[in-house]
Amino acid sequence: MKNILLLGSGGRECALAWKLSQSPLCGKFYIAPGNAGTEAYGINLPLSYNDFEGIKKACIEYKIDILIPGPEDPLVAGIYDFCKGDIALKHIIVVGPSKEGAQLEGSKLWSKKFMERHSIPTAAYREFRAGSFEQGVAFIKRSEPPIVIKADGLAAGKGVVIAHNTIEAVKAFRAMVMNEQFGEASKNVVIEQFLDGIELSVFAFTDGTNYVLLPEAKDYKRIGEGDTGLNTGGMGAISPVPFADESFMQKVTERIIEPTVRGLKSEGITYQGFIFFGLIKVKDEPFVIEYNCRLGDPETEVVIPRLENDLVELILTMQEGKLNEVRTQHSAKAAAAVMMVSKGYPGDYEKGKVMSGFEKVRGSLLFHAGTAVKDGQTVTNGGRVIAITSYGDNIKLALEKSYENAAIIEYEGKYYRNDIGFEF
């Protein structure tokens, strides 16, 4: 039995908590900080996932064997190296890359150069900074819109601008490099070719040499129906992805996943954990839009329910470097998640709205995201409030079930997109 500490407080972590707690290998299970949903599966610790010293204390006090960072922040900040460099923590299995490996997500420039070195298909790009501002503007003026401008570092999902004309592009570029819109994160900027296609998310779990694939998924990022309006953390997800057929996935494997895993190893970069490939299918060819060094949210809310393997066992196999000896089983059922959010999100919204109707929900899994318990009641505590995941013989049926239950859960200002999976 292994004692586990999971870091994070979103729907992703709730889905991971649901899965991990089902394992016969799961000993004492803690989530820091967790939410009202994760309490059903383990013990929430009032601790920020960025508080490394606090995490260290918890690891020692609760005799943690496995540490799983859900979000990217602690990984990019080097939680892996922090643990491995500490005599009291070095025995802990950390599910995630070293600080260097986390640069796949932590620096767009680093990941672009990595892809270049390993001939992994991605959009053509140029890099600019304040010192090359004039050259950047000249490059924008020569480029055909739409023009994609990306802050190099982490910018809480707001660091990418798709500009539809030159003026908009120069404005975004100036804000990033001259006005330090995202501080250090936008000191360097990537300007890249716009790829016109359909996106999907593919997940590998690697031991640094071998890897297994998790089910692929598609998420819906815009707040409005028909993929309109502002970008959000994600309004829903489906799995499997109908257009990711065998021949397409073969290309993804050969051209993207294998060169990535091999590339990390050949460069001596320690990486044991999840790799999230944000892909786009252009005509019939896959390109990398971005890498993430963790699982996606809300993709996890459909990917993990479709993973039939014991996740703790997979983690232990990863630690032994033997992922070549296992195969992942993906459920034949489809899964769909509908994210219920707070009115106003992704702009300003109110928290603390009392939620009800949970006991009437039938046939769906509820993965809490922004929820908390206050005076014995479950209340909203974030923009994305709760993901409703359902299985079905196909995506349509899975979605129908999620929508049935979305109608039942009540809180003031509830909103969700009614058209998740609309293209299929």
Contacted entry of ligand AMP, ligand GLY, none for residue 299, CB cut-off 5 to 8 Å set by kind = ligand GLY
From 89-97, 181-189, 295-303, 415-423, span contacting ligand GLY (CB under 6 A):
295-303
- Mark 222-261 with x for binding to ligand GLY (rule: CB under 6 A) and - for no binding: ------------x---------------------------
- Max CA distance (Å), the chain: 60
From 28-36, 194-202, 355-363, 397-405, span contacting ligand AMP (CB under 6 A):
194-202
Under the binding rule (CB under 6 A), the answer on residue 100 touching ligand GLY is no
Q: Which of 219, 248, 293, 306 binds ligand GLY (CB under 6 A)?
A: 219
Under the binding rule (CB under 6 A), the answer on residue 106 touching ligand GLY is no
Q: Return the ∠ at Cα 100 (arms to 96 and 105), rounded to 5°.
A: 70
Q: Which of 312, 351, 398, 333 is nearest to 1 (CA)?
A: 312
Q: Which residues make beta-bridge pairs with 278?
A: 201, 290
Contacted entry of ligand GLY, ligand AMP, none for residue 273, CB cut-off 5 to 8 Å set by kind = none
Residue 360 DSSP SS3: helix
Q: Which of 210, 292, 317, 402 binds ligand GLY (CB under 6 A)?
A: 292
Under the binding rule (CB under 6 A), the answer on residue 195 touching ligand AMP is yes
For residue 145, cis peptide bond before it (omega within 30 degrees of 0): no
Q: Return the ∠ at Cα 219 (arms to 287 and 68), rounded to 5°.
A: 90
How many residues interact with ligand GLY (rule CB under 6 A)? 6
Tell me the C-alpha distance between 302 and 420, whole Å. 13
Contacted entry of ligand AMP, ligand GLY, none for residue 194, CB cut-off 5 to 8 Å set by kind = ligand AMP
Under the binding rule (CB under 6 A), the answer on residue 194 touching ligand AMP is yes
Output the 3-class SS for 66-135. Answer: EEEECCHHHHHCCHHHHHHCCCCCCCCEECEECCCCCHHHHCHHHHHHHHHHCCCCECCEEEEEHHHHHH
* Contacts to ligand AMP by CB under 6 A: 123, 148, 160, 162, 192-195, 199, 278, 289-290
Where do contacts with ligand GLY occur on this chain (CB under 6 A)? 219, 234, 292, 296-297, 299
